[in-house]
Amino acid sequence: MLVHGYAAGATTYELGTRFGIERRTVSNILNRHDVPMRRRGLSPDQVDTAIHLYNIGWSLVRVGARLGVDHATVLTKLRERGVPTRDAHGRPRS
């Protein structure tokens, strides 16, 4: 069951993949069952890794998948560190 998987340590991303549903749907189900959510974020070392991967050409989505977080989390951390970002076509943002 999904709730038991989360309690055992699986992430919402892992559970989404396992059950064939979106991560947000997993979160909604857990919220309906009053399951406290874990907030992961990225450690400073993971942010360093994200910056490296992004700078060698990985997309935000790919970096997020590698680190187990949403691409928006990666983008936020890159911006906090002042890393220039690219648009969807790989061009520098102005």
Per-residue pLDDT of the chain in tens (94 residues, 90 and over written 9): 899 988 888 888 889 999 999 989 999 999 999 999 887 778 899 999 999 999 999 999 999 989 888 899 999 999 999 999 998 788 887 6
CA angle 16, 37, 13 (to 5 degrees): 20
What residues contact residue 58 under an 8 Å CB cut-off, 6+ apart? Answer: 66
**What is the C-alpha separation between 16 and 28, in angstroms, rounded?**
11
pTM for this predicted structure: 0.61
